[in-house]
Structure 1
C-alpha cells in the first residue's frame, strides 16, 4: 500500500492531537488476564488478590542477639563488680525443636533467631557476659561461637536485663489474619521477601506483557559489524527493547528487517505467538520505501500527530488475537519520544497498573526556547534539576538541538521539555511543563 490517503478511511489524512491519539490507543487496550506464578516469576508483576497472613511473623518469640536466655530476676542486681553467676543448661540454636526449660539460677546459650526457651524472660547479649570462660567480656564473643554444644559450666552476667529485652515477639512483624499486601501492589524484592516469609509459594498476578521490538530499514547494520557505504548501525531496536524492559515488559528484540513488505509481514506474523504487543520503528512516513505501511496497512491505521518529533504514527491490532501493534517513526529521537508518549502507557495498561504515565512537573527554563512549530506540541530533550527548596520549581535546560537524529543529546537528557501547540517560543526564565524520564 502507498502513503496516500485511504478513501475507505475518511480521517486518514487528519492531524491528530497527542491526547487524541493516545486516548484512542488506550481505549482499545485492556489489562492482561491474571495468572498464577511462582514468586520469582512474579517479580515486577501486579497482584490481583489481597494476600493475608496465615501464620504470624515471626511465628514464635525469638532472640535478636547471640547471648543467653535468662530469667530477669536472676540478673536484676548484676554489675561488673558483682556479676550474676548462672548455670548453663544447654544450647538453643536457630531451628531448634526441643527446648531446655530455664529455671532459677540457670541460663541457656542462644543464637540469633532461635526460639526463646520456656522459663526465659529476656536475652542478655554475649557482650554483657564472660562467654562462660571467666575471662571477662573481651573474650566473650569468641568463646560463645567456639564453645561446644550442651549443658555444663557457668556464665557470668555483668548487666541486668529488662523483661523481653532482645526478644522478637511472635507476630511483632505481622499477625495472622492481617493484610500482608493489597491487590494492585507491584511485586519488587521486599514484597517477594514478605510473601516468602509468610509461606506463599505462588501468587495471582497480571503478567508482565511480552513486547516484540523490531526496526525496519535495509541500511541498518547490527552493532559490532562494520559499516558499508550508506549504512548505519541499528540503535532503535536496542533503544526500544531497553525502554520496554524499563517500563516493566518482557521484551524481545528481533532486530532490523530489510525494506521488503513480504519479509516484514512474515517476520511480524512469526512473532505473534510470543507477543502481547509489537513495536516497529521506521517505514511510517510518505516515502517510496514505507515498508510498514505497505506490509501492515490493512490492519494498522497510519496517522499524522501534531507533535515534534514523531509526527507519523501507526496503531492497529493484528493477527487472529488482535495483538496491538504500534508503528513508530525511524529517527532515534522520534522513536524514543513516541515510545514514552504512547508505548509506555500501553505496557503499563496491559500490566494493570493504576498509574500508566510518567511524572510531570513545572520547571523554570533559564535559556528559554527560541522557536517551536505553531500548531504542534514540541518535546525537547532537557536536563532537569530539582529545586533546592521544597515547593519551588526546579530548572530545566535544553540538551542539544531539535534534530531527531541527535542520539548523544538524548543520552544526556533526563527529561523532555514540553512546549504547547499554541506557543512558538519560550522566553528565557519562563516556566515550562517537564516530562520526567527517570
Structure 2
C-alpha cells in the first residue's frame, strides 16, 4: 500500500466535519433573552419580532424649509410641475401668485393652526403641517417674503409634505428575530416609540491557553518554551464574532489546577475556549483531564475530525452549570482554523444569530493547489470581486505556514475530502472572513 493510500485509509476513520458540527450544534440553545434599552441593545441579536407601536412620522409635517400652502392657491404660478431652470420670464400678468404669510412654524410648534384661502405659513423642515395645507413650496421658488410672499413656481400637489405613517405604519414589522440591531435600526425603533427590545445577550467567552511549555508574549521562544500567541488571537477572534471575550492567559498542565480554573470560570462564562492539549501525546494533559467525567462537572468529548489543519477537536461541558467548552489545537494556525470551523458557529448560535456560519461564495481559482485526501482543508486565501460579477480567489500559504497565510487572508478556500488537486480555473467554495478593514 502506498503512502498516499495509507493516508487516505487513516482519513476514512475520521468523522466527517459536517457530521461533527451537526452533533455539536444540536446540543446547544441560544442564551435566554434580555429586555435592554436601545443603546445597550445595539450589536445584539433580536430575540423576537419587533412591531411598530406608533406611526412614523407621528403627524403630518413639512419635509423641507419653505411655505406651507393650499395647492389650489398656487395653480397659476409658473408652469405647474416644471423645473425652475426652464421657467419663462414673468411679466406680472398672473405668472406669479401672492400669498399672505400668517405665521411661522418650527419643529417645536405644537398649537394646531388652519390655513384659509390666499394664506400660507413659513415652515421649517419637521414642523407640523397646518390643517388644509397640502404642499410646501421650497424657499428658492419664492421671493422669500416675510409678510407676503411671491410664489414663482407651483410644485406638484403633496410635494414637500410627509404624511403621518407614510414611512412606518402602526403594526408594521420593523425587524425579525435573529436580526442584528444596527445603528439605523436603533433610530427606527426610537422614531416608532420603542425604548426597549428583547435581545439575546452577547455570549461571554473565556479563553484559556494550556501547556507547561507556554510563556507570555514579549520575549522570543527558547528550547522548551513556546510564546502563547493563541490566547491573544482567540480572544480577538471571539470579539470579532460578537462575543464579550476575556483572556485568562496560561494554565500549566496540572490536572487539579486546570480543572479548578475551568470550574471557577463557569461563574462568568457562557462559553469557554481552550487551546492546546487536544492530542494523545504524553504532554496532552487537557484531553486526559476533561475527557473523564466528574460528579456534577460535565465531560468533554474529543473527536478526530476530517479537518485540515488540526484534526483533533473537543466539545462538551464543564462545571456544575455545565457551561459549554470548545477545545482547539495548540498550533496557532490550526487553532484559528478550528475557531472558524467550530467556535464561530457556536458563538453565533448562543447569540441567536442566523445563519450561524460565515457567508460563502463560489470563486474562480487563480492557481492550482493540492490538498490532503480524505480531509476537508481550509486554506487561507485572498478573495476579490471580478469586474462584471463573480469572484476570484488566490491561495495563500497553508500547511505548516497557515498562520502566515491567515494574517493576509480575507477568505478561506474550502477543498473537500475527495479533492487532492484543484486546478487553476476551476470553481471552488470560499468562506468570507469579515476583518472589518
Q: What's the TM-score bracket when you normalise by the shorter of the two chains?
A: 0.7 to 0.9
The answer to which of 410-419 and 213-222 deviates more is 213-222
What's the counterpart of residue 435 of structure 1? 431
What's the counterpart of residue 7 of structure 1? none
Q: Following TM superposition, by how much is the alpha carbon of 1:420 offset from its aligned partner in structure 2, in angstroms?
A: 2.4
Is 1:346 the counterpart of 2:332? The answer is no
CA RMSD of aligned residues (A): 2.4
Is 1:255 the counterpart of 2:249? The answer is yes
C-alpha distance after superposition, 1:382-402 (max 9, x if no partner):
122334344x6x332211242
What's the counterpart of residue 150 of structure 1? none
C-alpha distance after superposition, 1:42-91 (max 9, x if no partner):
22333233322222111111111111112223332235634433322221
What's the counterpart of residue 324 of structure 1? 324
What's the counterpart of residue 148 of structure 1? none
* Structure 2, unpaired ranges of 5+: 1-12, 79-88, 293-298
Any idea what SS the aligned residue of 1:58 has? coil
What's the counterpart of residue 311 of structure 2? 311
Distance, in Å, in 2 between the alignment partners of 1:319 and 1:332 is 27
C-alpha distance after superposition, 1:79-135 (max 9, x if no partner):
5634433322221111211144322332211111111012322111111223226xx
Q: Following TM superposition, by how much is the alpha carbon of 1:292 offset from its aligned partner in structure 2, in angstroms?
A: 2.0
Distance, in Å, in 2 between the alignment partners of 1:100 and 1:220 is 76
What's the counterpart of residue 76 of structure 2? 77
TM-score, normalising length from structure 2? 0.84
What's the counterpart of residue 121 of structure 1? 134
Contact kept in structure 2, 1:76 and 1:161, CA below 8 Å: no
Is 1:130 the counterpart of 2:143? The answer is yes
Picking from 120, 125, 137, the partner of 1:112 is 125
What's the counterpart of residue 145 of structure 1? none
What's the counterpart of residue 30 of structure 2? 31
Distance, in Å, in 2 between the alignment partners of 1:258 and 1:274 is 21
Is 1:169 the counterpart of 2:166? The answer is no
Picking from 270, 276, 282, the partner of 1:276 is 270
- Compared CA separation, residues 40 and 171, structure 1 to 2 (3 A): same
Distance, in Å, in 2 between the alignment partners of 1:165 and 1:71 is 11
Distance, in Å, in 2 between the alignment partners of 1:361 and 1:121 is 50
Is 1:266 the counterpart of 2:260? The answer is yes
What's the counterpart of residue 396 of structure 2? 399
Distance, in Å, in 2 between the alignment partners of 1:184 and 1:435 is 21
Distance, in Å, in 2 between the alignment partners of 1:192 and 1:198 is 10
Contact kept in structure 2, 1:345 and 1:357, CA below 8 Å: yes
- Compared CA separation, residues 163 and 421, structure 1 to 2 (3 A): closer
Q: Following TM superposition, by how much is the alpha carbon of 1:233 offset from its aligned partner in structure 2, in angstroms?
A: 4.3
Q: Following TM superposition, by how much is the alpha carbon of 1:195 offset from its aligned partner in structure 2, in angstroms?
A: 1.1
- Compared CA separation, residues 210 and 368, structure 1 to 2 (3 A): same
* Structure 1, unpaired ranges of 5+: 1-13, 134-152
Distance, in Å, in 1 between the alignment partners of 2:427 and 2:65 is 58
Distance, in Å, in 1 between the alignment partners of 2:172 and 2:424 is 55
C-alpha distance after superposition, 1:11-55 (max 9, x if no partner):
xxx632212321221121112222222122222333233322222
Contact kept in structure 1, 2:280 and 2:287, CA below 8 Å: no
What's the counterpart of residue 139 of structure 1? none
Distance, in Å, in 2 between the alignment partners of 1:322 and 1:123 is 64
Distance, in Å, in 2 between the alignment partners of 1:161 and 1:197 is 28
Is 1:365 the counterpart of 2:365? The answer is yes
What's the counterpart of residue 355 of structure 2? 355
Contact kept in structure 1, 2:53 and 2:194, CA below 8 Å: no
Is 1:415 the counterpart of 2:411? The answer is yes
C-alpha distance after superposition, 1:266-296 (max 9, x if no partner):
3322221121111111122233332422442
- Compared CA separation, residues 246 and 164, structure 1 to 2 (3 A): same
Is 1:61 the counterpart of 2:74? The answer is no
Contact kept in structure 2, 1:280 and 1:327, CA below 8 Å: yes
- Compared CA separation, residues 254 and 119, structure 1 to 2 (3 A): same
C-alpha distance after superposition, 1:329-374 (max 9, x if no partner):
011210111111111111122223332122333333232124x323
